[in-house]
Amino acid sequence: MSRSPSPRRVVITGLGLISPLGNTPESYWNALSSGQSGVRPLRSLPTGTLPVSWGAEAIEFTGHIDDFGPLEKAQKRSIRKGIKLMCREIQMAVAAAQRALSHAGLHLGDYDVDRTGVVFGSDYILTEPEEFIDAIRSCLDERAQFDFDEWPKDGLPKLPPLWLIKYLPNMPASHIAIYNDLRGPSNSLTIREASANLAVREAYQIIARGDADTILAGATGTRIHALRSLHVLLQEQVATECEQPERVSRPFDLDRCGMVLGEGAGAVILESLEGALKRGSEVFGEVIGSGSSAVMTRQGVGLYREAVRNVLQQTLSTAGLTPDDVGHIHAHGLSTHQADQQEAEAIADVFADRKSPVPVTAVKSYIGNPGAGGGILELIASILAQRNDHLFPLLNFETPDPKCPIHAVCSPETAPGDVFININFIPQGQASAIAVRKLTDLGIAS
């Protein structure tokens, strides 16, 4: 099949997630619409030496085969065998992907394997310290000091033979492709929080130009990990004081004090509109535009205001939208002083001339920062808001910050509009954005 002579329309036909608010679209939306926070006392980390004792864990995900959603018998057998070769982040990725495929009604034999692919994003993935215990112990001298000279002979052979495979960031896409026989375009992105929108953007562009008919796009990440949590605490502003965990994540609020550690994964199925109609698929929205921009100082400090302003302008342009066409903005909403202020300023820069203020919400107020997985969870939240015809409030937003000139969603009665833009960015200044439109033409209502 040759490339399409003109860009094809691309729609979303399946949603899959692993989140602190449940692992189905229904449980996720019920929690959001009822104002339920996913931030709780931590269960998976010893907190005695950490300055935080709370986070947003995906507590319903245990890594058991039943957590991977409905599976065919052969797939279930293969994934069960492969679980031991996946760290938690990769397990969540595969589970979200399988749930998205099932949600879209796509099963082996239903699709052209050569024209169905996967684009998946992640953070850099860190090893669990336990993997090195035996190897390190074998290199201790009589004073219990590590002897580097002993590592090649006595340490390295003690590492688990398949250790590295459990943590490679290209493994989510690899596992997903193998388990579902996806032979079309495939890619792995490791761009932290910007990865999710960039994965959707790439999938959208691949289908639009006719190089594939269906792409599974997603991302997975965590900030709750024995080593990763330490990295974040040393490098970023994290909320370290609170009496009520569910109230600590407060994007754009005057009294915000830092982000909250989270984890999760999400995936969406993108298809050409033509293919979705032929298949009789349920359609959840149409991807109509995107943006990507990296702006930083010579010292590597991200300039969020400029980067976010760029991606908003690009997304409006590629989607053929004016600021007044946008129903709501799903902000990155990190809940740190600098990031929220600069993001709010960028939104004001682009939407200042609207007839009415653009509503802004952020699911991180409910689930903290899951890293790369956050962008897809945010995308799904806004899709569900459109489907249910009302937005979820920005949780814990009580005192407006004069330095954050946004129109925060404070009422569940706020309409989501027919178009939303999802924004993400990383500390190094890479930003990404996706525009999704509620599809109501051709007899289809999302």
Q: Where are the domains of the chain?
A: 10-128+163-437
- Does position 85 have pLDDT exceeding 70, yes or no? yes
Strand partners of residue 54? 41
For residue 442, what pLDDT is reported? Answer: 54
Fold of 10-128+163-437: Peroxisomal Thiolase; Chain A, domain 1 (3.40.47)
Provide the pLDDT confidence category of residue 1 given band limits of 50, 70 and 90.
very low
Is the Cα torsion angle 362, 365, 367, 372 positive or negative in sign? positive
Residue 293 sits at φ, ψ, to 5 deg, of -160, 140
When the pLDDT of each residue in the chain is averaged and rounded to a whole number, the result is 95
* Residue 36 near residue 366, CB atoms below 8 Å: yes
Strand arrangement of the beta sheet that strand 285-294 belongs to: 186-189, 116-122, 214-222, 263-272, 10-18, 285-294, 430-437, 419-425, 328-330, 359-361, 407-408
Provide the pLDDT confidence category of residue 6 given band limits of 50, 70 and 90.
confident
DSSP 411: -
Q: Which of 215, 338, 288 is nearest to 441 (CA)?
A: 288
Which amino acid belongs to residue 192? R
Whole-number Å distance between alpha carbons of 214 and 216: 7
Average pLDDT over residues 367-388: 98
- Does position 37 have pLDDT exceeding 50, yes or no? yes
Provide the pLDDT confidence category of residue 446 given band limits of 50, 70 and 90.
very low
CA-CA-CA-CA dihedral for 362, 202, 370, 19, to nearest 10? 80
Strand partners of residue 17? 266
- Does position 423 have pLDDT exceeding 80, yes or no? yes
- Does position 52 have pLDDT exceeding 50, yes or no? yes
For residue 47, what pLDDT is reported? Answer: 81
Task: Tokens for 157, please give them.
Answer: 């052979």
In the chain, the percentage of residues whose pLDDT exceeds 70 is: 98
For residue 343, what pLDDT is reported? Answer: 98
- Does position 54 have pLDDT exceeding 80, yes or no? yes
Average pLDDT over residues 412-434: 97
Query: In this predicted structure, which of 36-40, 96-100, 112-116, 299-303 has the lowest mean pLDDT?
Result: 299-303
Average pLDDT over residues 45-62: 92
For residue 5, what pLDDT is reported? Answer: 66
Provide the pLDDT confidence category of residue 441 given band limits of 50, 70 and 90.
low
pLDDT digits (tens, 9 = 90+) for 279-296: 999 999 999 999 999 999
pLDDT digits (tens, 9 = 90+) for 143-189: 999 999 999 999 999 998 899 999 999 999 999 999 999 999 999 99
Task: Tokens for 160, please give them.
Answer: 């688990």
Could you identify the residue written with the tokens 């009789």?
Answer: 280
In the chain, the percentage of residues whose pLDDT exceeds 90 is: 93
Provide the pLDDT confidence category of residue 310 given band limits of 50, 70 and 90.
very high
Provide the pLDDT confidence category of residue 125 given band limits of 50, 70 and 90.
very high
List Cβ<8 Å contacts ≥24 apart for 350-356. 350/309, 350/312, 350/313, 350/316, 350/323, 351/312, 351/323, 351/326, 353/323, 354/323, 354/324, 355/324
